Amino acid sequence: MKKKKTITFDIQKCDFCGSCVAVCKTDALILLETSMQIEQDQCTACGRCVIICPFRALTLEDA
């Protein structure tokens, strides 16, 4: 059985540039003024947001 992956967010590293939101094909990332909401039920854990983030604020981890 394959483990489910989840995206985690580190607010201390984020500058709210929106790059991650722009590459999310499922609209699972919602960038707010001072935080980010991750809709885990919509997220496919493809890792595109993790790769594009210039500040390494997002990580892909085992659930």
Is the pLDDT at 45 greater than 90, yes or no?
Answer: yes
- The three-state secondary structure class of 59 is strand
Query: What's the pLDDT score for residue 15?
Result: 94
Using 50, 70 and 90 to split pLDDT, how confident is the model at 2? low
Beta strands in the chain (DSSP E): 5-9, 29-31, 36-38, 58-62
Domain boundaries, the chain: 5-62
Q: How many CB atoms lie within 10 A of CB 31?
A: 17
Query: What's the pLDDT score for residue 17?
Result: 95
- The whole model's pTM is what? 0.88
Look at the block and give the residue holding tokens 């699972």: 28
CATH 3.30.450.40 fits 5-62, yes or no: no
The per-residue pLDDT of the chain, averaged, comes to: 94
Is the pLDDT at 60 greater than 90, yes or no?
Answer: yes
